[in-house]
C-alpha cells in the first residue's frame, strides 16, 4: 500500500485545484455577504468598478456623478438667455477695475480668442474672415454705447454666427476682455454703423498712440 498516500495527495491536490477554480467562477459579481474565511470575497469584493453597472439603483456606471444642479465652487452659471442681452447689460456691472494687470490679461485673452475674427484692433479683419462671416467693427457707436454687460453677454451667448465663448472663458477673462475692448475703442476712430445709411457722421477721434 505504498501508493495510497500518493493517491491521497493527488486527490487532495485535485480537490484544491477544483476549489481554487471554483473561486474564480465564484458567485456573480455584486454584493456577497461577507463571511469569515469566505475566500470568494477575495475575487469578488464588495467594491464598485467605474465601468461596471452600479449595484445600487442599477445606474449604468459605478462612478459617482454629481447630483443634478450641482455647481462647482467659483462657478456661476450664466443666467441670461441669448435674446436677453439688453437685460444683461442693464443688470450686470463689470466687477474688475482697469488696472494694468487686468488690462494685460484682457489683451492676452482677446489675442488668444477674439482676434481670429475681430482682428488685432477690433476692426473685423481677423484672419478667419477669409472663411467665416466678417464681423462688424467693434468701434461702432452702437457697441461703444453698450454697457459692459452687453459685450460680456456676447461673449457668453454669442450673436448670430458668432458662437458662445462661455466654454473658453471664465467670468474674469470675459470682463477683462471688455476692459481691453474699451481701451481699443478709446484709441480708435468711431466706425460707421454697417446697418445705418451712410449719413452717420464718423467723428474721427484723435488716436492717442497705439495702446495695444
Q: Which stretches of the chain bind ligand HEC, using CB under 6 A?
A: 113-114, 116-118, 128, 132-133, 135-136, 138, 140, 142-143, 151, 154-155, 159-162, 165, 177
- Measured in whole angstroms, the distance separating CA 83 from the mean position of its chain's CA atoms is 22
**Beta carbon nearer to ligand HEC, 44 or 89:** 89
- Give phi and psi for 84, each to the nearest 5: -100, 35
Query: Exposure pattern of 127-164 as b/e (b: 16+ CB <10 Å)?
Result: eeeeeeebbbbbbbbbbeebbbbbbbbbbbbeeeebee
Shortest approach of ligand HEC to residue 155 CB, angstroms? Answer: 5
Count of residues for the chain? 212
**Beta carbon nearer to ligand HEC, 96 or 117:** 117
Q: Quick check: 190 and 203 in contact, CB under 8 A?
A: yes
**Beta carbon nearer to ligand HEC, 114 or 171:** 114
How far is Cα 129 from Cα 47, in angstroms, rounded to an integer? 54
Q: Which residues contact 80 (CB under 8 A, 6 or more apart)?
A: 87, 88, 153, 156, 157
Shortest approach of ligand HEC to residue 137 CB, angstroms? Answer: 8
**Beta carbon nearer to ligand HEC, 20 or 159:** 159
User: Dihedral, CA atoms, 179, 181, 182, 184, nearest 10 degrees?
Assistant: 130
Shortest approach of ligand HEC to residue 180 CB, angstroms? Answer: 9
Shortest approach of ligand HEC to residue 110 CB, angstroms? Answer: 6
**Beta carbon nearer to ligand HEC, 105 or 165:** 165
Shortest approach of ligand HEC to residue 68 CB, angstroms? Answer: 29
Amino acid at each position: 500500500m505504498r501508493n495510497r498516500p500518493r493517491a491521497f495527495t493527488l486527490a487532495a491536490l485535485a480537490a484544491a485545484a477544483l476549489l481554487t477554480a471554483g473561486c474564480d467562477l465564484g458567485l456573480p459579481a455584486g454584493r456577497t455577504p461577507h463571511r469569515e474565511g469566505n475566500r470568494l470575497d477575495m475575487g469578488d469584493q464588495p467594491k464598485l468598478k467605474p465601468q461596471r453597472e452600479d449595484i445600487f439603483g442599477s445606474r449604468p456606471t459605478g462612478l459617482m456623478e454629481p447630483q443634478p444642479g450641482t455647481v462647482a465652487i467659483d462657478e456661476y452659471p450664466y443666467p441670461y438667455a441669448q435674446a436677453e442681452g439688453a437685460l444683461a447689460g442693464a443688470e450686470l456691472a463689470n466687477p474688475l477695475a482697469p488696472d494694468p494687470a487686468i488690462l494685460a490679461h484682457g489683451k492676452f485673452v482677446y489675442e488668444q480668442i477674439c482676434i481670429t475674427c475681430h482682428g488685432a484692433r477690433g476692426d473685423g479683419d481677423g484672419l478667419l474672415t477669409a472663411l467665416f462671416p466678417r464681423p462688424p467693427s467693434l468701434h461702432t457707436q452702437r457697441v461703444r454705447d453698450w454697457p459692459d454687460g452687453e459685450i460680456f453677454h456676447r461673449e457668453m451667448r454669442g450673436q448670430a454666427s458668432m458662437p458662445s465663448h462661455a466654454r473658453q472663458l471664465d467670468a474674469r477673462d470675459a470682463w477683462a476682455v471688455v476692459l481691453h475692448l474699451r481701451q481699443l475703442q478709446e484709441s480708435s476712430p468711431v466706425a460707421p454703423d454697417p446697418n445705418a445709411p451712410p449719413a452717420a457722421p464718423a467723428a474721427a477721434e484723435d488716436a492717442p498712440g497705439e495702446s495695444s
